[in-house]
Structure 1
Amino acid sequence: MTKMGTGKTAGQQPMGGISRRSVLQGLGAGAVAAIAGKAGFVDHARAAESLNYMCWEGYNTPAILDPFQKANDVAVSVDLITDSAGGFAKLAAGAYRDFDLVSSDSPWIARMGPAGICRYIEDADFTEQYAEFYPQFRAPFAPLQHEGKATGLPTRWGWVGPTVNTKFDKLETWSSYAPVFDAAYRDKICLLDWGDWPIMPLALYAGVNPYEELDQAALDEVRKVLRAAFKNTRAVVADLSIAQKGLIDGSFRALIGGGTYATSSLRLAGHDYIQSIVPEPRNGLKQGIIWMEATGLLDNGKNSKLPVDFLKYIVSPEVAVKLAITEATSNLVPNQKAEALFTEEQKTALQMDYMWTAWDNSQFHTVAPNIDDMLAIWQEELSAR
């Protein structure tokens, strides 16, 4: 799920969701150092080829990179992303010439097409990979299409809905976001300060589709629903570990704006009484949100086969499982064959028995035309809280 939405850059529309990553920036810095120390698997100075890779944490773990480096006599150099918009802006400003691949949030991979920095993949060259995917992710996969061409392949996904501690509450109570505004839940709710992620579901609850162009009346409704949520909320938290601790000990009955990204690692650690669900449709709008990461190739003029091989490698069943279960987070993957490689414990942690219910009752996260306006409203109402 994405991180924290920021301002516009010329020629681009912002996509929120960067903030889920911001909570891991401290880990990212340490992880880079740790990985640098472990990456002695391949002598970078003597490797026959090099591959420059921009990605989120998790994609750069030695368990994923080292086998590919050894098998292909290649040195993979990693530039770790700390926010989706920043990574895209860097590439669009000219750095795309220096990179071969990027793994980021799917709206930014899709935007590489109209930005003219994408090396499109030929679906026919990835028939084996698509055949391994769940049907929902097979070609032509609309969220990654631009003018009939694929800008990348999906790599990780999940959903955003209320994250509930069932020791203290019933899931049925959260068949809508109504408890966020219920006086009975005053000081029992935590909003995650993760850019657009808490905004989008609350907007949907108010009957506003944030993925459409919004007029002033719709933006006024967003303001009203956020103001009401802030008044009934105990805390607005950016640090995931603090939010998770409060959820476990009952200080918070629910987290809003995190979904499976905030849940799966807790469940894998034994807290299986914590679940992320999707509320029922309201006012004709699906109330859940599907987030997804993807990996795309950069049009750097080299036309090398190696990035294509790496893209096929990163979505393969064996690697997908490693990408799904990392030290930082645990997330679903689009490869259907990978499901047989997960342990029952991992499947339970990822809520695999619920994932298609969530999918069917969710919006797919795309670029929100008015994200700047909504983020400004969030900050204004938060300051006035």
Structure 2
Amino acid sequence: MKFMCWEGYDSPDIIKPFEEANDVSISIDLITDSPGGFAKLAAGAWRDFDVVATDSPWVQRMGPADIGEFLDDAEFADVYESFYPQFRAPFAPLDFDGKTTGLPTRWGWVGPTVNTKYDKLENWSSYAPCFDPAYKDKICVLDWGDWPIMPMALYAGIDPYKELDDAELNEIRLVLRALFKNTRAIVGDLSVAQKGLMDGSFRTLIGGGTYCTSALRKDGQKEIMSIVPEPKDGLNQGIIWMEAGGVVKDPVDDAKAKALLRDLTSPEVAVKLAWTEATCNLVPSQEAEALFTDEQKDVLQMDYMWEAWDKSHFHNVAPNIDQMLEIWSQELAAAR
């Protein structure tokens, strides 16, 4: 069996027990770029894979692209029953024309990441400090594709997940221009961003959220937190990201491919998937919550997760993403 996935899913603690229990050998293809992984499958590599675990918008597209199998919700009814109600079928983020394309596996939120030793969380009830001269060059913007663009669009009063007209795209240009005017810290390397956050050089990271926070909190730095700003102009200001697992079209063994999906979403494996060396993330399994220690729950900010959920949009591939990325590149080049 061949498995395309993000780091964490390849953990021996997850893979080896499944291999032994199902008399199968799993070959792993690690990805660091979800669109790239999808493009690889769509170009014909789907014939070489059985299961994929990647960002949910790309799993959602596998069925309609004819490179993934649709799932029967009834077959996975017990899995859905183990999930939090928010993730149970019918689940829109993994639905295409009433058919299910995959199962959710990990999730978190995008919002300001703050070191409370140097700043107050309440200062980040909005993205306004990004444009405040008092914070000049103390805002670290992660150069991570669309992730920093979407929050700025939402702050400007624009929903970036709908079709945008020229005027709305220009508003996004202006808000990015103002952002770059107030900070020169545009960083692609997470370790550099985290170091600046820890030593106070940066008051916040923009475009990352819980994905940037968990490893630091796991190391005992509980002063690092990711939150979601309050709604503004009728728009939620946070973004929920999610990973999902899907069965690739015509797997070698359909039953074992589905068994791997079932395994990844089981409470016992979900806890392992949530707590990896690289990062720590929330999981959809409600039954898994009882298996986490109080320390793990604290690291994952589980007491805050539904507040973040309620204040957020669900991430998807935006219709105008290519134009927004081009605007980002143009404004960043002009700022430098």
TM-score of the superposed pair, with normalisation by structure 2: 0.98
Whole-Å separation in 2 of the counterparts to 1:321 and 1:304: 25
8 Å contact from structure 1 (residues 109, 151) kept in 2: yes
From 257, 268, 274, the counterpart of 1:318? 268
Q: Is the 8 A contact 1:106 1:293 kept in 2?
A: yes
Aligned partners of 1:166 and 1:274 also within 8 Å: yes
Matches of 1:327 and 1:268 in 2, distance apart? 10
**Tell me, what secondary structure is at the counterpart of 2:268?**
helix
User: Is 1:377 the counterpart of 2:327 in the alignment?
Assistant: yes
- Is 1:82 aligned to residue 32 of structure 2? yes
Deviation, structure 1 residue 90: 1.0
Candidates 283, 289, 298, aligned match of 1:333: 283
Following superposition, the deviation at residue 210 of structure 1 comes to: 0.5
Structure 1 ranges of 4+ moved more than 6 A: none
Aligned to 2:155: 205
CA deviation map 1:105-143 (0-9, x unaligned)? 000000112101111111001111100000000011110
Offset at residue 73 of structure 1 (A)? 1.3
Retained in 2: the 8 A contact 1:98–1:300?
no
Counterpart in the other structure of 2:78: 128
Q: Pick from 128, 141, 160 the counterpart of residue 178 of structure 1.
A: 128
Paired residues of 2:49 and 2:251 also in contact (CA < 8 A): no
Corresponding residue for 2:189? 239
1:155 to partner: Cα distance: 0.2
Q: 1:147 aligns with which of 97, 101, 112?
A: 97
Name stretches of at least 5 consecutive residues in structure 2 with no aligned partner.
none
1:4-49, Cα deviation, whole Å (9 max, x unpaired):
xxxxxxxxxxxxxxxxxxxxxxxxxxxxxxxxxxxxxxxxxxxxxx
| Structure 1 spans left out of the alignment, 5+ residues | 1-50
Quote the offset at 1:220 in angstroms: 0.4
Shift of 1:194: 0.5
Mean Cα displacement is larger for which, 89-98 or 186-195?
89-98
Q: CA RMSD in A?
A: 0.9
State the Cα deviation string for residues 223-280 of structure 1 (Å, max 9, x = none). 0000100111140000001100100110000000000000011111111011100000
- Quote the offset at 1:96 in angstroms: 1.1
2:205 and 2:252 mapped to 1: Cα distance?
Answer: 45
Q: Which runs of structure 2 are paired with 1:212-231 in the superposition (5 Å)?
A: 212-231=162-181
Separation (CA, whole Å) in 1 of partners of 2:253 and 2:61: 20
Please state how far the C-alpha of 1:364 moved relative to its aligned partner.
0.3
Tell me the secondary structure at the aligned position of residue 275 of structure 1: strand
Give the deviation of 1:339 after TM superposition.
0.7
**Amino acid in structure 2 at the alignment position of 1:355:** M
Query: Residue deviations 1:187-234, cap 9 Å, x none?
Result: 111000000000000010001110010111001000000010011114
> How far has the Cα of 1:304 moved from its partner?
2.2
Partner-residue secondary structure (3-state), 1:66: helix
Code of the residue aligned with 2:127 in structure 1: it is Y
**Alignment pair present for 1:281 and 2:257:** no
Deviation at residue 344 of structure 1 after TM alignment: 0.9
CA distance in 1, matches of 2:45, 2:250: 9
Write the distance in 2 (CA, Å) between the matches of 1:325 and 1:102: 20
In the aligned structure 1, how far is the partner of 2:334 from the partner of 2:88? 46
Matches within 5 A, 1:230-309: 230-300=180-250, 302=252, 304-309=254-259
**Alpha-carbon distance in structure 2 between the residues aligned to 1:87 and 1:336:** 29
Aligned residues: 335
Shift of 1:303: 5.6
What is the DSSP-based 3-state SS (H/G/I as helix, E as strand, rest coil) of the residue aligned with 1:381?
helix
- SS of corresponding position for 1:159: strand
